[in-house]
Structure 1
Amino acid sequence: MKKQFLKHITLLSAGLLLSTGCTKNFIERNTNPNSYNQTNFDPNYMLTSAELGYTGSNDFAYETWRGNLIYCATFMQGLSSVVSYWAGDKYLLNTGYTAAYWEKAYPDQVKPIVDIVEWTKTKPEHKNLYQISRILRALIFERITDLYGDVPYSEAGLGYYQKIFFPKYDKQEAIYADLLKEVSEATEALDPAGDKPGGDAIYQGDITKWKKFGYSLQLRMAMRLTKVDPETAKSYAQKVAGKTLTIDDDAFLRHDGAGGRTTNNRNSQVLMGDGGQEHFYVKWSDTFINNLKGNNDPRLSKVACTQLYLADDSKAQNPNPNFTPADQKGMPNGRDFSTPGFIITADPSFTAFPDYSSPSPYLIKRDGITFILTYAETELLLADAAERFGLGDAATHYNNGVKAAITYLKQYDAAATISDGDAQAYVNAHPYNSATGLEQINTQYWIHTCTMLDFYEAWANYRRTGYPALVPLNFPNNATSGTIPRRFPYPAFEAVNNAENLNVARAAVTGGDFLTGRVWWDKQ
């Protein structure tokens, strides 16, 4: 059954490769999808394909490697690397790498999810699949617009349906308004008595959980707007109160390590060295490790270990790595092998690479988990809303969120379990203080999203809040004058594929189309 299921996904994925970077036979490719049509494919399979695409599971997922790990993880001083092409913590611009997410997201995520929305919107037998697809479409576009700003949205993926081959770039302000509308309407319309989509790899068709996910996603989207539209942020925080994810509702996709390239966990695949020597030269940042170590954080012994790989030419993990908290050591960011003043082997912390802390084998497994949205995130966002807007008890939400951000690790692996008592002891030792509340909340959000390996989200929330208070680097010849990047520049290939609309979008970027430009909600 599993092989047949994966065969459907593979065939479907082949039919969905409608890239914005392809111009040869453009109209034919956009109007005649010959691998599937409305009569010969169950749209449930397309839901699986879109979910796999969002979690970076298609092909080798260069967008995960380049966007999430090489750039966002090191921008946020979650990870550190001395591999030459890991340019993020040196603030160097590799336009191919910053374009990778766009290049893969439109064909692998946007196209299939738009197909489902279009195919099911008039079919009552698929009413829940339609609403889930609207929610997933909004989730997909939230990340794309957070990374780039104004992007093709309202016309994206509609080449087959409306003959739109050069989609306009919608303003991010308009995109966010529509995302909130779409998720709000779709969440309310979900019917627990209706269809339960069989292709749902996240909640297995559990409509009650999808409703709570929808309310939580509205909260996350609305809280992005705290700098530019606090009234909208406040109104949605009030609206979703009491309806969001609970402790057993974390949204994640569990991968199948035996399922071939389609289902492997791509964060893990990269960090295990399938694409190079990341397994040996990518470590937890000293910023991250020092925070956990300095606060006696019980997560330290579960998310980090030394001596995981003992030789750079071997990709076999040491079966007995060192999890002892006192021995954990983060690697400083912004180092390499050859730049004077920044050579890692000359750093006072250096002894040998295995002595730096790696992400633990509980977190990096081919059949592991990609987390999408968690109860802990939601509680911390509710704490932020309570502190900013006087909505409810910020301390209660903070305590709930921090405790959940500790105990959720058991979902990675039973060996990563931290007891409720140990989690509560950490909360008790770090009581909430309203005077520093926003810093406490959002520093914990950073820790949690780093342990989720969702560095896209860590970067977005940092740009929204300014927390944690990271110290920028100033590597020679960097592209930002030593400031932490704020967005990805638009892909160069769009100048060929959609030049007129691209030029309008470029001209509208606050600060210019650079790493230092800002998306609409990232107001100074």
Structure 2
Amino acid sequence: MKLDKIILIFLGVFIFTSCEKFEEFNENPNEPTEVAPSVLMPSAIRQSVNTMVNESFLLGNNIGQLTSKTLRTEADTYNWNAFPTVWEGLYGSLTDVKGVEMGAIEAGNELQEGAAIVLRSWIFANLTNAYGDIPYSEAIDGDNNTLTPAYDSQEDIYTDILSELERASNLLANGSGSIEGDILYSGDAAKWQKFANSLRLRLLMTASENISNAGNQFNNIVSAGNIFTSNEDNAILEYLNTFPNEFPLIQLKTGDFDAVALSETSLTVMENYGDPRLSRYARPDNDNYDNPEFSGAVSGAGSCGKSGSRIGAAYYNDDAQTTAESLGIGNADGIILSYSEVEFLLAEAAAKGWISDDIETHYQAGIQASMDYYQVNYTPYGYTDFNDYYNNSGVAYNEVTDIWEQKWLSLYFVGLEPFFELRRWYVESGMSFNGIPFLSAPCDNLNNNNLPMRFRYPGQEQSLNAANYNDAVDKLGGSNDINASIWLVE
């Protein structure tokens, strides 16, 4: 009996000690429970920019008629589904952004926090611009067991994003710390501040019809300065030349890349001016950059004429044709926001009377900034330099739709902005293509020649977040429809 008790006591102590030891052994030092912002930041930037590069290729450029689909023409014909890769890709990157922001707050690193806020704001702006009301204030909050986040109104989201960007600008101007893992601006807080303020200008213009004091807010930002003033300020991700950090389209199969071609719409406009960006946006059909020849695919259904020049050499490597390297331009960047766009924003703000600057000065600067960024060669198009091009091509400023046209051309491969801007111009033109002289409804589209207003919510929301999804759809009028009215178009 005594022996049995001794054995039981011994076994109890052994099991208790073993459990403690097991817990110690079960802690893997190679899998930390917290990840430093310096590790999460590059992942957050890369994933979000990669998503927008892919969506510019598949959706943005095609909806905006800068390019045209030669296969699977859903984007061109307005036969839209939920485009779930937009939703999933951007919400997925927000997980890392939140990790950066929380880590920065915990460490008291105000500059890192400011940069994270700017990145978060840009990502959420893309989501709400695409879908309307979306999970925002409760999104990415699974660590607090918020697994079915409510949908915030688009108006509230815009109000908060603009406020958060102003807060970020102040943190980046006056805060302490450093921006670690920054593959966008290499830790330069001043450039992040310019990015924050320039993004505010974009969003104010996007929502200009719905924010009563948008002009005053825009003027105040411009007056305070610290916005983009040259191509050195561009918010772009410069890709490397090796997998997995190369331009996303480089990895495509040839057939997938050739499913998109230069559109007849953009070709017509650019050939009318002799625009030298043609040799950057597309490959000459004759592969002769000294005497280039191009063709354009019709935007719309596959029966409408789908033969067009291949997308430019910077967007895909093909050793059988002239390469970007041989042209001295390198592979393409991931463009978030450019100095060229800011100049067009200033030009249109001047035309609206928001600022007192000269319209044409900003308009001309916007075109030149785009030309300089793409390192164009004027000679094959019959011009000696930019001034010769501006003065003799017919592109000189005359009316506000000229700003729209040249901004449209400059938005090539800038995420979903070609769609967002086209929608704004369409609304300002009385819900019609008639007020946009360089565009028209795509051939044989399936939406009665009407531009859709939004993407559908993904089907997974209906199953995983049903109550909040249903509330959001009710606010759209009861249907998750591409023509439903969202706040930006009301």
Structure 2 residue identity aligned to 1:407: D
Measure how far apart 1:402 and its partner are.
Answer: 1.2
CA shift, 1:417, in A, is: 5.6
RMSD: 2.5
* Residue 112 of structure 1: how far off its partner (Å): 0.9
Matches within 5 A, 1:125-136: 126-136=109-119
Change (3 A) 1:421 1:143: farther
Higher CA-based Rg: 2
Cα drift, residue 186 of structure 1: 0.8
Find the aligned partners of 1:287 and 1:165 in 2 and give their Cα distance: 45
Show the counterpart of 2:321: none
Matched residues in 2 for 1:105 and 1:156: separation? 12
Q: Does 1:87 align with 2:44?
A: no
Q: 1:158 to 1:280 in 2, by over 3 A?
A: closer
Q: 1:325 to 1:228 in 2, by over 3 A?
A: farther
Q: 1:484 to 1:396 in 2, by over 3 A?
A: same
Give the conservation status (yes or no) of the 8 Å contact 2:42–2:181: yes
By how many angstroms is 1:202 displaced?
Answer: 0.6
In proportion to residue count, which structure has more helix? Answer: 2
1:118 correspondence with 2:109: no
2:442 maps to 1:473:
yes
CA apart distance, 1:144: 0.6
For 2:478 and 2:284, locate their aligned partners in 1 and report how far apart those are by CA, in whole Å: 41
Deviation at 1:233, TM superposition (A): 4.0
Secondary structure of the 1:190 match is: helix
1:277 equivalent in structure 2: 255
Q: 1:227 to 1:42 in 2, by over 3 A?
A: same
Q: CA deviation at 1:138?
A: 0.2
Deviates more, 1:321-330 or 1:241-250: 321-330
Counterpart check, 1:221 vs 2:209:
no
State how many pairs are aligned.
432
Residues 120 and 358 of structure 1, relative CA distance in 2, 3 Å threshold: same
The aligned counterpart of 1:294 is 272
Partners in 1 of 2:488 and 2:127 — Cα distance? Answer: 14
- Corresponding letter in the other structure for 1:334: G
Counterparts in 2 of 1:239 and 1:368: CA distance versus 1, 3 Å: closer
Matched, 1:142 2:125: yes
**Is the partner of 1:424 in helix, strand or coil?**
helix
Does the 8 Å CA contact 1:148/1:490 hold for their aligned counterparts? yes
Aligned residue among 184, 191, 207 for 1:202: 184
Q: What's 1:103 paired with?
A: 88
Pairing 1:396–2:374 present: no
Task: Give 3-state SS (helix, strand or coil) of 1:486's partner.
Answer: coil
State the partner residue of 1:463: 423
Structure 1 contact 225–233 (Cα < 8 Å) conserved: no
SS in 2 for 1:517: coil
Query: Retained in 2: the 8 A contact 1:55–1:253?
Result: yes
What amino acid is aligned across from residue 396 of structure 1 in structure 2? T
Greater displacement, 510-519 / 133-142:
510-519
Report the CA distance between 1:90 and its aligned residue. 1.6
1:405 pairs with 2:383 = no
Once the two structures are aligned, what percentage of the paired residues are identical? 27
* 2:39 paired residue number: 45
Give the drift of 1:220: 0.7
Residue ranges of structure 2 left out of the alignment (5+ in a row): 1-29, 318-329, 427-435
Using the TM superposition, give the Cα deviation of residue 70 of structure 1 relative to its aligned residue in structure 2, in angstroms. 2.6
Shift of 1:232: 2.3
Q: 1: CA distance between counterparts of 2:391 and 2:315?
A: 26
Q: CA deviation at 1:206?
A: 0.8
1:76 paired with 2:64, answer yes
CA contact (8 A) 2:279 2:292 kept: no
- Residue 149 of structure 1 and its aligned partner are, at CA, apart by 0.6
Q: 1:142 to 1:325 in 2, by over 3 A?
A: farther
The AA in structure 2 aligned to 1:299 is R
Superposition pairs for residues 160-309 of structure 1, below 5 Å?
160=143, 162-191=144-173, 194-241=176-223, 242-247=225-230, 248-258=232-242, 260-261=243-244, 263-269=245-251, 273-274=252-253, 277-307=255-285
1:334 matched to 2:300? The reply is: yes
In the alignment, does 2:333 pair up with 1:369?
A: yes
After TM superposition, the structure 1 = structure 2 runs for residues 419-430 of structure 1, keeping only pairs within 5 Å, are 422-429=385-392, 430=395
Aligned CA distance change for structure 1 residues 36 and 133 (closer, same or farther; 3 Å): farther
List per-residue Cα deviations over 1:450-500 (Å, max 9, x = no partner).
1xx124011111111234642112527x2x223222210100110111010
Mapped to 2, the partners of 1:507 and 1:35 lie a distance apart of 44
Deviation at 1:325, TM superposition (A): 6.1
SS in structure 1 at match of 2:488: coil
Write the letter of the residue equivalent to 1:442. Answer: W
Corresponding position of 1:507: 474
Establish whether residue 344 from structure 1 lines up as the match of residue 305 from structure 2. yes
Residue 168 and residue 468 in structure 1: after superposition, are their counterparts in 2 closer, same or farther (change >3 A)?
A: farther
8 Å Cα contact 1:286/1:329 also seen in 2: yes
| Structure 2 counterpart of 1:516 | 483
1:483 pairs with 438, 446, 450, which one? 450
Equivalent pair of 1:462/1:468 in contact (CA under 8 Å) = no
Q: For residues 468 and 370 of structure 1, do their structure 2 counterparts lie closer, same or farther at Cα, with a shift above 3 Å needed?
A: farther
Describe the superposition over 1:252-294 as per-residue Cα deviations: whole angstroms up to 9, x where unpaired: 1111231x23x2312444xxx42x6133342100001111001
> TM-score, normalization: structure 2?
0.82
For 2:354 and 2:486, how far apart are their aligned partners in 1?
27
**Partner amino acid, structure 1, of 2:332:** G
Q: Equivalent residue for 2:429?
A: none
Structure 2 residue identity aligned to 1:246: T
User: Residues 114 and 158 of structure 1 are in contact (CA less than 8 Å); yes or no, is this contact kept in structure 2?
Assistant: no
2:336 is paired with a residue whose SS is strand
- Contact between 1:407 and 1:423, CA under 8 Å: does it hold in 2? no
User: Quick check: 67-76 or 358-367, which moved more?
Assistant: 358-367
CA shift digits 1:341-374 (9 cap, x unpaired): x2637xxxxxxx5xx3222113446953111111
1:255 touches 1:369 (CA, 8 Å); kept in 2? yes
How far has the Cα of 1:104 moved from its partner?
2.0
Alignment match, 2:402? 440
The CA deviation at 1:92 is 1.4
Task: Name the amino acid aligned to 2:346.
Answer: L
- Counterpart of 1:378, as a letter, is V
- The one-letter amino acid of 2:407's match is Y
Q: Does the aligned pair in 2 maintain the 1:405–1:448 contact within 8 Å? A: yes
SS in 2 for 1:362: helix
Map 1:29-68 to 2 at 5 A. Answer: 36-38=32-34, 41-56=35-50, 65=54, 67-68=55-56
Query: What SS does structure 1 have at the residue aligned with 2:186?
Result: coil
Give the TM-score, by structure 1 length.
0.77
